[in-house]
Structure 1
């Protein structure tokens, strides 16, 4: 069994969700069919989420009604942001 230790110099985990689907209208974020949403995945940082988003968006370039989005899950999980985390972390 592998034990995970948190290193003091390790960056905080910033989760991002990449998903998409066909929109009802190009001027909205309302999806035509919620049961057919394409969930690409959850990624540990913005850079890897962006790469996944870009790949999904390029695969659907022939259908203008399909849009993919990156959701910053870390902002939903920690609404006060990194400032709250930094206040609770002892400085070196």
Structure 2
């Protein structure tokens, strides 16, 4: 199975948390088959909004959600 990574972000209520204020306005950056590409996309999106403390972007390891019984592998 591919190692799928989803990058998305949006406005949060608290910059220290992941409680998004409006799920209809989530910015879906993309889906990536390796962490390096996902991290590059995350970094680009986060840097575009660096002056807005209420915007937060994340990388979700979808492959870990799809096969939770398998322990995380390096890389």
Q: Does 1:80 align with 2:69?
A: yes
Corresponding residue pairs, total: 72
Supply the distance in 2 between the matched residues of 1:22 and 1:44 (Cα, whole angstroms).
26
Bigger RCO (CA 8 Å, 6+ sep): 2
Say which of 13, 24, 46 aligns to 2:13: 24
Runs of at least 5 residues in structure 2 that lack an aligned partner in the other structure: none
Runs of 4+ displaced beyond 4 Å: none
Task: Report which stretch shifted further, 23-32 or 34-43.
Answer: 23-32
RMSD: 1.5
Provide the secondary structure at the position in 2 that maps to 1:32. Answer: coil
Residue 59 (structure 1) aligned with residue 13 (structure 2): no
* C-alpha distance after superposition, 1:16-45 (max 9, x if no partner): 000000101123211111110000011001
Q: Does residue 45 of structure 1 match 2:34?
A: yes
Q: Which consecutive residues of structure 1, in runs of 5 or more, have no partner in the other structure? A: 1-11, 84-92
Q: Secondary structure at the match of 2:16?
A: coil
Q: Which residue does the alignment assign to 2:22?
A: 33
Question: Aligned partners of 1:44, 1:57: CA distance in 2, in Å?
Answer: 20
